[in-house]
Structure 1
Amino acid sequence: MKEVDLEGKPEETQPPYHVLARSLLYPGSHTLRFPVPDEKVPWEVDFPLYDPPAYSADHKDMAVQDPFSPNPMGRTGLQGRGRLHCFGPNHALHPVVTRWRRNLDGSIIRKSLKKMLEVLVAQYPLSDVWSLPGGSLEPGETLPLKLKWILRREFWPQFQTLLKQGTEIHKGYLDDPRNTDNAWVETVAVSVHFDNQNNVEMKRLNSFLQGCDPELCIRWQVLDKRIPLHANHKDLLHKVSTLLGAYY
């Protein structure tokens, strides 16, 4: 897997501290976080009034780690495990699968002189938001359960090969609304780009997608800053656009 340094490019417009991890209402609950202003996020900054509530949703087969591991990016306004599976880092994998957006004659569509991309996105049952086809990694697993749900079993090995040939665009902490002071998401995001519309693996992928679970919505979506996706996933798309020199 190739690695590329994208630091200082998409992040230039991003705030210095996690934002989604301080969303006042914790997702999937009625729990409100203790408000944390930007300047009080770092643990090194004294915050004597800080008194966050604790919240941990029920999970079966919970892999408990040190419950006192501090979030490496600072305060979130909530203690406990939240909706995450374990204390400390919760590992994830997010493939960013792209192709060029093309006209009917096969020519690549451009906007502001830059080539336009399409990205593979999914909408899971009980969710009204589109997301990248990845997610949490169970211990010992190499592909997220959500990704396996999308791909037919016979295509799993080929997709793992595509990931190895892809370019790593992010590794580490991910600003996520489920993060707490004691549990957080760390992900590896990999760019898998099909440069040629006649690519055999892309045609095979498309054929498998047509036969995936009928409860699952999956599609190729035009990639730009207005894309209806989770905010932290849009940060990953910005990195891919920068990597490929594409419009965003």
Structure 2
Amino acid sequence: MKSSELSLLPLLCLLLTLEKTLISGQMMSSLVKPGIFRHLMCRNNMYPRSSVLRYPVSDDQVFWSEPYSDYCPPVYTSPHIGGQVWADPPLPSDTFRPQWNQLDGQVNRKSFHGAYKLKDGLPLNPIGRTGLSGRGSLGRWGPNHAADPIVTRWKRNDQGAIVTNPTTGKNILQMVAIQRSDNKLWAIPGGMVDPGENVSVTLKREFTEEALNFTDKANMVEQFFKEGGVQVYQGYVDDFRNTDNAWMETTALNFHDEDGSKVGQLELMAGDDATSVRWTDVDSDLKLHANHADIVREVVIRRNAHW
């Protein structure tokens, strides 16, 4: 090999590393942002639990920067939202004046993707058009913040040894997944962050309510969650409830039971809004609600597990 070729090796290695990082999904947090990410779940379908059909939006018409003169989305806010203490009042309003892009009292109206724009007094989805205006079934105008605890353990055989995939040779990861009652899809057992609530409190509460169904078990997992999780994602969620004026964002942390002696031993029981709950093998065939599979893949990369 020539000396000139040798001198290029470090650069080639760097480029390959960067390419691998991008392809692996490790840069998802930076990719899911306005002008790049095109949501899929919240376009071109019937809005859940309604007879409202979204206005058609193609991939080329998602971004607000792209002209779409014929765009005329229906306006819909679910009837059950009205009068709920956890929901915003209707807009426009003479008495309700939200403080957009900032902390509005105890309600966090900031987006993880920076300042969002307003049109006719309403916040615009930072990713782009969804084919529906209004709030749909979401409680807040603008960002609706959630927290998602990705609780994992290694898959083990009857002898307690970690199971590896024969093809990749990597350990197989398992996660706690719930089956949502609204769309029957499997998902991370997360939930909405209450006004003024610390995300860590939301994570523990939602996991206990969704996957254990017994509040007295909260003490059993208190220490597990107190040890801290690893943040793997913070940003927009491609949720089927999103609209042009209201959307989901989440903070996702991985809580890993390395030896399976903590939450890995607890009996799971579906509660709250879950139909079922289980330990699920994690691999590339995993199908989850919204873009939860992409978030879980971040955990796989960090744990160097099978995918």
TM-score by length of 2: 0.68
Letter in 2 for 1:99: R
1:140 aligned to 181, 196, 218, which one?
196
> Against the structure 1 CA distance between its residues 89 and 163, is the aligned structure 2 distance closer, same or farther, given a 3 Å change threshold?
farther
> Against the structure 1 CA distance between its residues 34 and 200, is the aligned structure 2 distance closer, same or farther, given a 3 Å change threshold?
closer
Q: Is the 8 A contact 1:98 1:193 kept in 2?
A: yes
1:41 aligned to 62, 68, 71, which one?
62
In the TM superposition, what is the alpha-carbon distance from 1:160 to its structure 2 partner?
Answer: 7.9
Q: Is the 8 A contact 1:163 1:192 kept in 2?
A: no
Identity of aligned residues (%): 34
In structure 2, the partner of 1:27 is 48
Query: Mapping of 1:13-92 within 5 angstroms?
Result: 16-58=37-79, 59=81, 60-61=84-85, 62-64=87-89, 65=98, 68-92=122-146
2-structure distance, mates of 1:153, 1:202: 18
In the TM superposition, what is the alpha-carbon distance from 1:229 to its structure 2 partner?
Answer: 2.5
In structure 1, the partner of 2:257 is 194
Q: Is the 8 A contact 1:163 1:190 kept in 2?
A: no
Name stretches of at least 5 consecutive residues in structure 2 with no aligned partner. Answer: 1-19, 90-97, 101-120
Q: Is the 8 A contact 2:154 2:171 kept in 1?
A: yes
* Structure whose alpha-carbon radius of gyration is higher: 2
Name stretches of at least 5 consecutive residues in structure 1 with no aligned partner. Answer: 1-5
| Higher relative contact order (CA closer than 8 Å, sequence separation 6+) | 1
Q: Is the 8 A contact 1:23 1:177 kept in 2?
A: no
Report the more deviating stretch, 36-45 or 121-130: 121-130
In the TM superposition, what is the alpha-carbon distance from 1:123 to its structure 2 partner?
Answer: 2.5
> Against the structure 1 CA distance between its residues 54 and 246, is the aligned structure 2 distance closer, same or farther, given a 3 Å change threshold?
same
In structure 1, the partner of 2:169 is 113
In the TM superposition, what is the alpha-carbon distance from 1:138 to its structure 2 partner?
Answer: 2.5
Q: Is the 8 A contact 2:44 2:55 kept in 1?
A: no
Letter in 2 for 1:104: D
Q: CA RMSD in A?
A: 2.9
In the TM superposition, what is the alpha-carbon distance from 1:31 to its structure 2 partner?
Answer: 0.8
> Against the structure 1 CA distance between its residues 97 and 32, is the aligned structure 2 distance closer, same or farther, given a 3 Å change threshold?
same
Q: Is the 8 A contact 2:78 2:136 kept in 1?
A: yes
2-structure distance, mates of 1:54, 1:126: 21
1-structure distance, mates of 2:270, 2:183: 21
Letter in 2 for 1:136: M
In structure 2, the partner of 1:153 is 215
2:233 aligned to 170, 173, 184, which one?
170
Q: Is the 8 A contact 2:155 2:163 kept in 1?
A: yes
Report the more deviating stretch, 139-148 or 23-32: 139-148
SS of the aligned residue for 2:56 comes to: coil
2-structure distance, mates of 1:45, 1:210: 47
1:224 aligned to 277, 283, 287, which one?
283
1-structure distance, mates of 2:174, 2:163: 11
In the TM superposition, what is the alpha-carbon distance from 1:45 to its structure 2 partner?
Answer: 1.5
In the TM superposition, what is the alpha-carbon distance from 1:147 to its structure 2 partner?
Answer: 3.3
